Amino acid sequence: MKELTIITKGAIKNCLFVMLFLALIQPFGIDTIEKGRIPFILAETACAFVSVIVALLLSNVVMRSTIKEESLGKAMVHILVFFLINTPILGAMLLTFVSWFNAGNPLLYWLLEDGRFNIWAWGTMSLNVSSVSVIVAFIVIYQVRNDKLLQRLKEVEQMNQRLEARQEEMEEEEMIEFIGQGQKSHLEVSAQSIIYVESMANYADICYISDNEIHHSTLRITLKQVREALAHIDCIVQCHRAFLVNINFIQKITDRNSGYQLQLFGLEKQIPVSRANESIIKEKLG
């Protein structure tokens, strides 16, 4: 029910634009209609309203999600799928209506003089629809892009608020021993003092705090091995394929086009968050 309400609101907004466009520009011969021009425009707008709702529902089925739930990139694909579905449907509806309006027979324009199916009439009407759809598409993309940016800014704001309000008791310190390949590839450190771990090919750079100073230790060890050693430490999570991060050291979260960036206490370096791991960070900060 909620999804249908959102779809209906979107359809109303788009169809209001279509109605204004038809009324002001009067394309496709509308300006030649002497009687019933206003009812004609209203009827075509009604056809567009029904078509948009059907196309939105079908595009949601095809994409298996709604535009509101999707990332910006996937939402752009969703919009394209919507217009590919909507154009032939609305073209068929308008051809039927115009045939009835002009000739009193809804099927007349669908047929050639010899009674064969007139695909060219449908194609021409669909082409007219697509020419208006291009304008509508730019408006929809602009709206969706702004909505997505506002949504992400709101999420970042909420997570930063949770960070500020975070009053969790620190876990009891637990010493972890990392043993890499090579005689000197060894580090024993408190798991809770680890700030982040960065994968560097076959090495891992472990950044940690000791005696109020930040240290780095580069070991010949894979990120997978480090992650497995720290799997039971709740405050350390994988935020990117190349990074593990201690959420207790997150100072603030910022949003970039590529995804979230984590600013850590005492460090200038920002840690990236891949989109696949955004939900993990949100869950941990919840």
Tens of pLDDT along the chain (286 residues) come to 666 677 788 788 888 888 888 888 888 888 888 888 899 999 999 999 999 999 999 999 998 888 877 777 888 899 999 999 999 999 999 999 999 999 899 999 999 888 888 899 999 999 999 988 888 888 888 888 888 778 777 766 765 565 556 545 555 678 888 887 876 778 899 888 898 999 998 899 999 988 878 889 999 999 999 999 999 888 899 999 999 999 888 888 888 777 788 988 777 888 999 988 888 888 877 6
Q: Which residues contact 178 (CB under 8 A, 6 or more apart)?
A: 186, 187, 188, 189, 206, 219, 221, 225, 226, 229
The two tokens of residue 177 are: 């021993």
Work out the number of other CB atoms within 10 angstroms of the CB of residue 234: 13
Check: CB of residue 33 under 8 Å from CB of residue 48: no
User: Percent helix, strand and coil across the chain, each rounded to 5?
Assistant: 55, 20, 20
Q: Which of 98, 85, 80, 92 is nearest to 126 (CA)?
A: 92
Q: How many alpha carbons fall within 13 Å on the CB side of residue 181?
A: 7
Q: Which CATH number fits domain 175-285: 2.40.50.1020, 3.40.50.620, 1.25.40.10, 3.40.50.2000?
A: 2.40.50.1020
pTM: 0.59
Residue range(s) occupied by CATH 2.40.50.1020 in the chain:
175-285
Measured distance CA(192)–CA(233) in Å, rounded: 8
State how far Cα 27 lies from the chain centre. 34
In 10 A of CB 174, how many CB atoms?
11
For 41, how many CA atoms within 13 A lie in the half-sphere containing its CB?
Answer: 21
Contact 51, 96 (CB under 8 A): no
Half-sphere exposure of 221 (CA within 13 A, CB side): 24
Coil, strand or helix at 190: strand
